[in-house]
Chain A
Amino acid sequence: MKRWIAFWNILVKDMHAYYLKPPNISWGIIFPLAWTGMFFIRSGSGLESVLELLPGVMTISILFGTTSMLSVTITFERRSRSFERLLLAPISLEQLMLAKTSGAIFFGIANAFIPIIIAAFLVDLSGIAWPLVVPAIILIGIVSTFLGLFIAVSVSEVFEAQTFSNFFRFPMIFLCGLFFPIISLPIFIRWLSYILPVTYGVDILHGAINGEHIISFTLDFVILAAFCIVLFLLSLRNIKRKWIV
Chain B
Amino acid sequence: MKLSGTPAIEVNNLIKRYSEVVAVNDISFQVNDGELFGFLGPNGAGKTTTINLLTGLAQLDAGTINICGIDCTKNPKAAQHLVGTVPDESNLYPELTGFENLCFCAALYGMRKNERQKRARELLDTFGLADAANRKFAGYSKGMKRKLTFAAGIIHQPPILFLDEPTTGIDVASARQVRQIIAELHRQRTTVFLTTHYIEEAERLCERIAFIVNGRIVRTNRTVDLLKPIKGKNVLVLSISNSATELMGEMNSAFPGYQFQSTTSGQVRIESAEPVSIGPLIRFLEERGIQVTEARQHLPSLEDVFVQVTGIEAGLMMKEKEKAGGGGNQ
Q: Interface on A for B, CB 8 Å cutoff?
A: 1-3, 5-6, 8-10, 13, 17, 80-82, 84-93, 240, 244-245
Contacts and interface: CB of A to CB of B under 8 A. Distances in A.
A80 to B, nearest CB: 7
B34 interface: no
B96 A17 contact: yes
Given A87-B57, A244-B59, A6 B107 contact: yes
B95 A92 contact: no
B57 A2 contact: no
Interface of A is mostly: helix
B108 A86 contact: yes
From A10, A82, A87, residue with most partner B Cβ within 10 Å: A82
Contacts of B56: 87-88, 244
A6 B108 contact: yes
B44 interface: no
A9 B107 CA distance: 6
Interface string B99-117: 0000011011111100000
B89 A81 contact: yes
Given A84-B57, A244-B57, A245-B59, A90 B111 contact: no
Contact of B92 (A3, A6, A85, A88): A85
A82 to B, nearest CB: 5
Contacts of A85: 91-92, 105, 108, 152
A90 B112 CA distance: 15
Contact of A84 (B59, B81, B91): B91
A91 B55 CA distance: 13
Interface of B is mostly: loop
Given A84-B57, A90-B80, A1 B110 contact: yes
B93 interface: yes
B77 interface: yes
A168 B85 CA distance: 38
A5 to B, nearest CB: 5
Contacts of B152: 85
B324 interface: no
Contacts of A245: 18, 58-59
Q: How large is the interface on B (under 10, 10 to 19, 20 to 34, 35 or more residues)?
A: 20 to 34
Interface string B241-255: 000000000000000
B91 A5 contact: no
A90 B91 contact: no
A89 B57 contact: no
A85 B96 CA distance: 14
Nearest to B149: A85
A245 B18 CA distance: 9
Interface of B: 18, 55-59, 77, 80-81, 83, 85, 87, 89, 91-96, 104-105, 107-112, 152
Contacts of B59: 240, 244-245
Contacts of A91: 108
From A10, A80, A86, residue with most partner B Cβ within 10 Å: A80
B77 A90 contact: yes
30 contacts: A1-B110, A2-B109, A3-B110, A6-B107, A6-B108, A9-B104, A9-B107, A13-B96, A17-B93, A17-B96, A80-B91, A80-B94, A81-B87, A81-B89, A82-B91, A82-B92, A82-B93, A84-B87, A85-B91, A85-B92, A85-B105, A86-B108, A88-B80, A89-B80, A89-B108, A90-B81, A90-B110, A244-B56, A244-B57, A245-B58
A236 to B, nearest CB: 13
A5 B96 CA distance: 19
A2 to B, nearest CB: 2
Given A84-B57, A90-B81, A244-B56, 17 more contacts: A1-B110, A2-B110, A5-B107, A9-B108, A10-B108, A13-B93, A80-B94, A84-B91, A85-B91, A85-B108, A87-B57, A88-B57, A88-B83, A88-B85, A90-B77, A90-B110, A91-B108
A10 B93 CA distance: 12
B93 A81 contact: no
A2 B59 CA distance: 26
Contacts of A90: 77, 80-81, 108-110
A8 B110 CA distance: 10
Contacts of B89: 81
B15 to A, nearest CB: 14
A6 B104 CA distance: 8
Nearest to B107: A9
Contacts of B77: 90, 92-93
Contacts of A84: 57, 87, 91
B285 to A, nearest CB: 52
5 nearest CB pairs, A to B? A2-B110, A9-B107, A89-B108, A81-B91, A90-B81
Contacts of B81: 90
Contacts of B105: 85
Nearest to B95: A17
B17 to A, nearest CB: 10
